[in-house]
Copies of this chain bind each other. A is one copy, B any other.
């Protein structure tokens, strides 16, 4: 089986330290934090402005990659479903997709609002929202 290598482009700093503290999804969150982009990727940020909504991809480095079915939203009264029909962090490739508001951008530091992601999570991509 061919595999591919993901290189972090930055890291998230925020005050969410455990899953219990984290909102279930970005659309339920007012949490703020900062995305620190590594200097070698600075040129890639050209065009991102305060007030934009950006799509940020995170690599959930503490998620279990071996589980294929979960109780949605961690509620054991919900019947188990395949991870691909949920937004669970548990999945073979633990990538999260969040839509975040850019509160500020200063050189390689982006202040964002709407976080449901744990502190120190690697950032692997940023895109324009459609």
Asked if residues B47 and A82 are in contact (CB atoms below 8 Å), the reply is: yes
Contact among B45, B69, B83, B86 with A82 in the assembled complex (CB-CB below 8 Å): B45
**Who on chain B is nearest to A98 by CB?**
B130
A95 (CB) vs chain B CBs: closest residue: B125
**From residue 69 to 127 of chain A, which have CB atoms closer than 8 A to chain B?**
69, 80-87, 91-93, 95, 97, 122, 124-127
- Closest chain-B Cβ to A63's Cβ sits at a distance in Å of 11
Q: Tell me if A43 counts as interface (CB < 8 A to partner B).
A: yes
Tell me the smallest distance from the CB of A60 to a CB of chain B, in Å: 10
**Residue A6 is within 8 A (CB to CB) of chain B in the complex:** yes
Say whether A22 faces chain B, with CB atoms less than 8 Å apart: no
Q: Are B45 and A4 closer than 8 Å at their CB atoms?
A: no
Mark A residues whose CB is within 8 Å of B. Answer: 1-9, 25-27, 41, 43-48, 52, 54-55, 57, 59, 61, 68-69, 80-87, 91-93, 95, 97, 122, 124-128, 130
Beyond contacts A1-B8, A6-B93, A46-B81: 14 other A-B pairs, Cβ-Cβ < 8 A, are A3-B5, A3-B6, A3-B8, A4-B59, A6-B6, A9-B92, A26-B130, A27-B130, A43-B68, A45-B85, A46-B69, A55-B97, A87-B128, A93-B124
